[in-house]
Structure 1
Amino acid sequence: MAFLELPRRAMEETMFRYAGLGVLAALLTVPASAQIGNPAGLDADTKMSEPGVPAPHQTNNQDRLFARLAAAGGMAEVDLGKLAAGKSETGAVKDFANRMVTDHDAANDKLKQLAEAARMPLPEKPDAEHAAIKERLQSLSGEAFDIAYIKAEIVDHQKTSLLLQWEISLGEDAELQRFAAETLPGVLQHLESARNIHADLTGAAIR
């Protein structure tokens, strides 16, 4: 079954089950022909701001799913970052956690503005998966906490980078596509930093 033909819930579960394994990388690689404000799938009577360019915030199911997943993940990054900044005793981990709070807080605010303009409801708290991660981290301390937190960050940023590429390539809302394109480089930098910290903590690299 083609990825885009999956029901919304199955699509979400499939993305998150395989994102960390790289199975979706080929599917989600942004093609050279990807365009901002992809008009594919628009109804014939959809109003255009310019010939061939969709009016602002022409959202589809892809855009709305992207916004929900990105918002839940972004809130979790801030929440877990605050936890790690206060709990970790390792300078590199604390610095990374503080960066997660600052960077993702700014991205969350931007996404919220776009969602409000497009009248798309967003979740108000992190999802159950991230709540479980936080609960586990709260039970750890010292090096065990640092390693578990950084591992979770690696997985989350792998998933987020794929989610952003998915929106850039297949989204329909021009503003959300631009948001994804602007956010992706920072997420990839976060991922590389987390991998480097994990290698320093454990002596083992995660790619």
Structure 2
Amino acid sequence: MTVRPISLVLGTVLLAGLCCSAFAQSSTGQDSGDRMTHSMQSDGSHDAMFMRKAAAANMAEIQAGRIALDKSSNAQVKQLAQRIIDDHTKAGDQLTSIAQRKQVSLPTEPMPMQKQEADHLKSLSGSAFDKAYAQAMVKDHRKAIKLFGMESASGSDPDLKQFASTTLPALKTHLQMAEQLPGGSGMHHDTMDHHGATPMDDSGSMGMPASGSSTH
């Protein structure tokens, strides 16, 4: 073989090696970028999920409060219901404002399970209603406190972390008031997990056993 053909062969091999190296580097960079994008999307989707769950729960809580105002003759029940309506209306407005800034679409009504819970409350009356509402509020607010506590501690969005933190005191007040109602204290141990709060169900509902209300 002459010198010229050998040079051509070596040049071709060298060029192919450079191309493979460049492709590998490009692929590695793309994989790294994909992982970073996925991580960012995961963080964002976590916050978006929190907003949607909180919005649906908030509407359900207000709905249950209105049912209580209409059906109950117990002054303590009515006091709690009005407090919940006022606080959750305020929290709902704040959440809507944040969601609009983040361009996140929120649900316009409670979840189907929460609607069923509200229908159950509507079917009750007298002391049976008061007891069911109290138990519902206790269970609901323990779940809500856990949800908002997790967002406050580990959320990735500063606005949502602050919203969760500032809403938690009202949720805890609602829980304390509900526990003082007839039937409310009976939920103290059997609905709590080892951390003092009931975990959310598979549907993401923060809703209540007999009420359509979930919280903030």
TM-score by length of 2: 0.66
Per the alignment, residue 206 of structure 1 pairs with: 187
Given the superposition, is the C-alpha separation of residues 203 and 134 from structure 1 closer, same or farther in structure 2, using an over 3 Å criterion?
closer
Per the alignment, residue 99 of structure 2 pairs with: 115
Per the alignment, residue 143 of structure 1 pairs with: 127
Q: Which amino acid aligns with 1:75?
A: M
Per the alignment, residue 63 of structure 2 pairs with: 79
DSSP-derived class of the 2:187 partner: coil
Per the alignment, residue 84 of structure 2 pairs with: 100
Q: Find the aligned partners of 1:82 and 1:42 in 2 and give their Cα distance.
A: 46
Q: Find the aligned partners of 2:176 and 2:36 in 1 and give their Cα distance.
A: 37
Q: Which amino acid aligns with 2:180?
A: N
Per the alignment, residue 130 of structure 1 pairs with: 114
Per the alignment, residue 46 of structure 2 pairs with: 62
DSSP-derived class of the 1:121 partner: coil
> What is the CA-CA distance between 1:172 and the residue it aligns to?
0.8
Per the alignment, residue 148 of structure 2 pairs with: 164
Given the superposition, is the C-alpha separation of residues 180 and 143 from structure 1 closer, same or farther in structure 2, using an over 3 Å criterion?
same
Structure (1 or 2) with the larger CA radius of gyration: 2
> What is the CA-CA distance between 1:205 and the residue it aligns to?
3.8
Given the superposition, is the C-alpha separation of residues 92 and 170 from structure 1 closer, same or farther in structure 2, using an over 3 Å criterion?
same
Give aligned-pair identity as a percent: 36
Name the one with the larger helix percent.
Answer: 2
Given the superposition, is the C-alpha separation of residues 99 and 63 from structure 1 closer, same or farther in structure 2, using an over 3 Å criterion?
same
Given the superposition, is the C-alpha separation of residues 68 and 205 from structure 1 closer, same or farther in structure 2, using an over 3 Å criterion?
same
**Aligned alpha-carbon RMSD (Å):** 1.9
Given the superposition, is the C-alpha separation of residues 144 and 74 from structure 1 closer, same or farther in structure 2, using an over 3 Å criterion?
same
> What is the CA-CA distance between 1:169 and the residue it aligns to?
1.8
Q: Find the aligned partners of 2:83 and 2:185 in 1 and give their Cα distance.
A: 23
Q: Find the aligned partners of 1:203 and 1:138 in 2 and give their Cα distance.
A: 19
> What is the CA-CA distance between 1:62 and the residue it aligns to?
1.1
> What is the CA-CA distance between 1:83 and the residue it aligns to?
0.8
Q: Find the aligned partners of 1:74 and 1:119 in 2 and give their Cα distance.
A: 19
Deviations 1:88-133 (A, max 9, x none): 0100001110111101000000000000010001000011121011
Q: Which amino acid aligns with 1:65?
A: M
> What is the CA-CA distance between 1:206 and the residue it aligns to?
2.9
Query: Is contact 1:137-1:149 (8 Å) kept?
Result: yes
Specify every segment of 5 or more residues in structure 2 that has no aligned partner in the other structure, as ranges. Answer: 1-34, 189-216
> What is the CA-CA distance between 1:59 and the residue it aligns to?
6.0
Specify every segment of 5 or more residues in structure 1 that has no aligned partner in the other structure, as ranges. Answer: 1-40, 47-57
* Mapped pair 1:184 → 2:165: no
DSSP-derived class of the 1:140 partner: coil
Query: Is contact 1:62-1:167 (8 Å) kept?
Result: no
Q: Stretches of 4+ moved more than 2 A in 1?
A: 202-206
TM-score by length of 1: 0.69
